[in-house]
């Protein structure tokens, strides 16, 4: 039986989960209907949300009309279906689930929307959607009774990578701090819109020999360690030019240059993160990564090279997080 309909509604895509007992995924739908890519409407932008919502889960709700619905991500942003105010960090994790906002669709369906988080400082920081993934990670750790009281660093690599510091105690989990790195977007922009990309070549993996794969891996590793060198102290704006010069001097081929740049940017991200954590005197007991598997493996490799210790990659964090938030909000019975 359907227990919960959970929506991960981002900028470019919408994922709908039909969840059963104990949060088991019964069905998943992925639609290209993010908040910036809604179906065509007659001029009312809210109609696009209604149409996407119907496509994602209309039949599920007709089959089980009393099923609660929860949504996270950009759906709650200023450009979303219904703007939900940010909650301030630091914050106890349970407060997030207790602070859901609601809206009703044109068919009367009540939809519970997860608030994002904001960190006020000289350089403010925000997230929408990643907090739900972080809660999914914590749900997994707590279910495994994994060392309550030990702090955890949750990494969410992607277009805008997030690093979330979680303080865990025997009584509660707290989002203590988070940082954002635009590594993925900068990488795409450099490869696609600067002179660095002119001599690069993307590998599709087809027909690639073992030697080619090894060379690409070595190029990635070479880039990842630049931030640890004396030359790396000049910073990323200086060192990225080496992606071109190593090609001009014949050290790297087109594929190697692309892999090298990927490693270089991730390496600078991890080096900066490490420096900030040391300045704060904060040492996590472990690092948990959530995201696309291949990208997470790249990050795990660099984290280990920078002596971050125990690093794990976790799948299905979003649906776990949405399920836990629904439980905290009282939308579900604990036993189901």
End-to-end CA distance of the chain: 10
Helix (H, G, I), strand (E, B) or coil at 260: helix
35-46: pLDDT as tens digits:
999 987 766 678
Helix axes 210-224, 293-305, angle to 10 degrees: 50
Predicted local distance difference test score (pLDDT) of residue 126: 98
Q: Are 293 and 300 in contact (CB under 8 A)?
A: no
Q: What is the C-alpha to C-alpha distance for residues 43 and 45, in angstroms, rounded to an integer?
A: 6
Sheet of 4-9, strand order? 25-31, 14-19, 4-9, 69-73, 110-113, 101-104
Tell me the whole-structure pTM to 2 decimals. Answer: 0.93
Tell me the pLDDT of the chain averaged across its residues: 93
The predicted model gives 100-124 an average pLDDT of: 97
The predicted model gives 169-194 an average pLDDT of: 95
Q: Are 101 and 115 in contact (CB under 8 A)?
A: yes
Q: Residues 6 or more apart from 110 whose CB is under 8 A from it?
A: 68, 69, 102, 103, 104
More confident residue, 133 or 205: 133
198-246: pLDDT as tens digits:
999 876 656 566 788 999 999 999 999 999 999 999 999 999 999 999 9
């Amino acid at each position: 039986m359907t227990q919960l309909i959970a929506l991960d509604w981002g900028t470019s895509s919408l994922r709908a989960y039909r969840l059963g007992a104990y949060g088991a995924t019964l069905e998943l739908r992925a639609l290209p209907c993010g908040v910036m890519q809604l179906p065509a409407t007659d001029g009312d932008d809210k109609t696009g949300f209604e149409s996407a919502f119907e496509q994602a889960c209309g039949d599920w709700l007709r089959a089980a009309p009393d099923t609660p619905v929860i949504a996270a991500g950009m759906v709650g942003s200023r450009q979303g279906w219904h703007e939900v105010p940010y909650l301030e960090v630091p914050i106890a994790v349970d407060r997030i689930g207790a602070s859901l906002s609601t809206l009703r669709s044109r068919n009367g369906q009540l939809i519970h929307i997860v608030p994002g988080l904001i960190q006020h400082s000289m350089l403010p920081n925000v997230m929408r959607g990643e907090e739900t993934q972080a809660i999914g990670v914590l749900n997994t750790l707590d279910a495994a009774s994994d060392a309550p009281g030990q702090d955890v660093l949750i990494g969410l690599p992607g277009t805008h990578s997030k690093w979330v510091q979680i303080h865990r105690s025997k009584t509660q989990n707290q989002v203590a701090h988070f940082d954002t790195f635009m590594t993925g977007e900068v990488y795409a922009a450099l490869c696609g819109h600067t002179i660095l990309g002119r001599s690069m070549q993307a590998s599709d993996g087809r027909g690639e020999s073992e030697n080619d794969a090894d060379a690409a891996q070595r190029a990635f590793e070479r880039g990842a360690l630049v931030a640890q060198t004396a030359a790396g102290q000049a910073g990323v704006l200086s060192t990225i030019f080496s992606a071109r010069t190593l090609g001009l001097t014949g050290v790297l081929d087109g594929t190697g240059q692309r892999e090298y740049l990927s490693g270089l940017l991730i390496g600078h991200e991890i080096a900066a993160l490490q420096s900030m954590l040391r300045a704060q005197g904060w040492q996590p007991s472990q690092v948990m990564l959530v995201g696309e598997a291949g990208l997470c493996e790249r990050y795990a490799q660099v984290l280990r090279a920078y002596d971050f210790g125990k690093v794990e990659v976790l799948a299905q964090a979003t649906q776990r997080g949405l399920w836990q938030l629904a439980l905290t909000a009282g939308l579900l019975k604990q036993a189901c």
